[in-house]
Amino acid sequence: MQRFDIDFATVVKLIVWSTIVGAALYWLEWSTGEVFGWAANKVAHAWAWIAGTGFKYMLLGATIVVPIFLISRLRKR
C-alpha cells in the first residue's frame, strides 16, 4: 500500500475545488446539511426499493438461476 503523501500541489487543488464547490453551494443557497440530507434520502430510497420491489425481482430470477446452477454443479461431479 502506498503512503498517503499530500504535496503542495494537492493542497492547492483542494483549496481551489473547495472554493468552487463552496461558491456553487452559496449561489444555489444550499447548505451542507441539505446536500448530505439529500444524499441520505437517496440511499434510503434505494434501500427501500431493494428491500421491496428489488427483492421480489431477485426471488423471481432465483427460481430459474438456482436450479440451473445446481444442475450444472451436479453434472460436473
d(CA 24, CA 50): 33
pLDDT value of position 53: 81
d(CA 77, CA 75): 5
Phi, psi of 4 (to 5 degrees): -95, 75
pLDDT at 59 > cutoff 90: no
pLDDT (mean) for 68-73: 92
Residue 64 and residue 74 in contact, taking contact as beta carbons nearer than 8 Å: no
Nearest to 42 by CA among 34, 32, 30: 34
pLDDT in tens, 14-55: 999 999 999 999 999 999 899 999 999 999 998 888 888 878
- pLDDT band for position 11 (50/70/90)? very high
pLDDT value of position 1: 53
CA dihedral 10, 11, 17, 21 (to 10 degrees): 140
